[in-house]
A = this chain, B = another copy of it.
Amino acid sequence: MSASVETVILKIGGSVITNKDSNRFEIRRDEIGRIASEIGAARAARPMRLVLVHGAGPFGHTMVTNYGIAEGVGVPKGIEGFVRTHNSMQDLNYVLMCILRDKGLLGFPIQPSACIRQKRRELISFDTAIIAGLLDLDDGIVPILYGDMVLDESIGASVVSGDAIVAHLAPALRADRVLMGTDVEGVFEGDPKTDPAAASIPTISAENLDRVMESVRGATTVDVTGGMQKKLIEIRDKLGGIGVKIFDALAPGNVERALLGRQVGTEISLRR
């Protein structure tokens, strides 16, 4: 491990790699292939320790909704729902692993439900030593984590989102940068999906954070549970000192640009 090599966490939202709008179980293989190529190109240009975290899209959320297990597994077919939701996440992650392998990347999936436990839907146990060990062994290895359904001490089983994994992993690995690839261009004042006049915010600092938080209230454009406001709260509370970019990973070239540290989307830097 060289201290001069940056550690970067790249989160790719479920809205990027699946057809989320339709709520069909449809994987966007072309987008995954393009993103894998961009990762390869960026790494060829600049060595880095890279961890990839991907979201669930319908492979997680639709399953949880269909089985009615968002509040726990103590419902009819709740246990089946838990297992099938995990299986479904494996369907998605397996395809992603295969595409990365085809592209020559050394993607090494780490199954979250094999190493994470939760309580009241909050992460309480996550041994990140194996992930750090993979990066230490060789920074060509790209550990891959994903939103998953895991054991929960209070409600049996609960969803751990890709964002929650990032929030835990970034400080544990002392990540230098977190890149959040979504299906919107960054953080907007308002909701760009319902308000075409919503203005994008190029940078968020400790100074304008409160104002931005107010302006994004209700904007649900960014994938998973809670929308953009929850994302910003998590970034503030758990990633405070780490530089974060939120950007549109569906726009070709953006993943590579983000990995290389170039301007893309919204830059969040809360270090005072």
Interface, chain A (partner B; CB < 8 A): 73, 79-80, 82-84, 86-87, 90, 94, 97, 101, 106-111, 113-115, 117, 127, 129-130, 133-134, 137-138, 140-141, 151, 156-157
Contact = CB atoms under 8 A, between A and B. Distances in A.
A73 B137 contact: yes
Contact of A106 (B80, B101, B156): B80
Contacts of A97: 87, 90
A134 B150 CA distance: 9
Contact of A111 (B114, B127, B156): B114
A111 B110 contact: yes
One complex includes copies of this chain to the number of: 2
B79 A141 contact: yes
Contact of A151 (B79, B115, B134): B134
A114 B130 contact: yes
Contacts of A101: 84, 87
Contacts of A79: 106, 137-138, 140-141
13 contacts: A73-B137, A79-B140, A83-B106, A83-B108, A84-B101, A86-B108, A90-B94, A90-B97, A94-B94, A109-B111, A113-B130, A114-B115, A115-B130
A107 to B, nearest CB: 7
Contacts of A129: 117
A53 to B, nearest CB: 14
A65 B80 CA distance: 39
A33 to B, nearest CB: 17
A137 B114 contact: no
A133 B117 contact: yes
A111 B97 CA distance: 14
A111 B148 CA distance: 13
Nearest to A94: B94
Contact of A114 (B80, B83, B114): B114
B109 A90 contact: yes
